[in-house]
Chains A and B, each alone.
Chain A
């Protein structure tokens, strides 16, 4: 059983460039979450999907950020015109949702973005 994987693990880019991250959830999980963790802080919720539908976006997710999950499997998070303030660890988590009780979110190792 493979866990949640994220690619790349590290990304260094120059301010103004676009970047895209990928998350592959646990295969049978229908929910996928994105969080952002800056230095010295806990992770903050960005957005989540149930299957291919994006059901909620945080106010943290400016219009430079876009996330997709086209076939309800892997997801991508794109940041356009990166700024130095975007430097952070981007974490992906997945869970199964069966319409009732809470199910654990399993986290990937994260993608660390550095914007120069």
Chain B
């Protein structure tokens, strides 16, 4: 079985500040890990993914995440927040078998204050 826990349903930062969104996963086999962003009334857009290559993954819009097996974590960071980063962010895991279905966390709403 696989699961994802996102710590903090709502994170608020100032424009230009560091963004840190936390994600811990549970998986019985080596996982694939993902971060998606969702803007209001839109579908999900992939920010970045970890698929057992480099543990530090760079994505779009300046985001990156580091896979830490010992901590079962995959936290998302961005050095400097921009107003356009305000959205809901979902961490997801896929593991076991070839179906590649995604199991998502409950999401973290990021607010960026001017």
Contact = CB atoms under 8 A, between A and B. Distances in A.
A59 to B, nearest CB: 13
A110 to B, nearest CB: 5
Given A102-B32, A102-B51, A91 B103 contact: no
Contacts of A43: 44, 90, 102, 104
B19 interface: no
Interface string B23-42: 00000000010001000011
A91 B90 CA distance: 14
Interface residues of A, number: 29
Nearest to B43: A107
Interface of A: 4, 31, 33, 35, 40-45, 48, 55-56, 91, 93, 95, 97, 99, 101-110, 112
Interface of B: 4, 9, 32, 36, 41-46, 49, 51, 90, 92, 94, 98-107
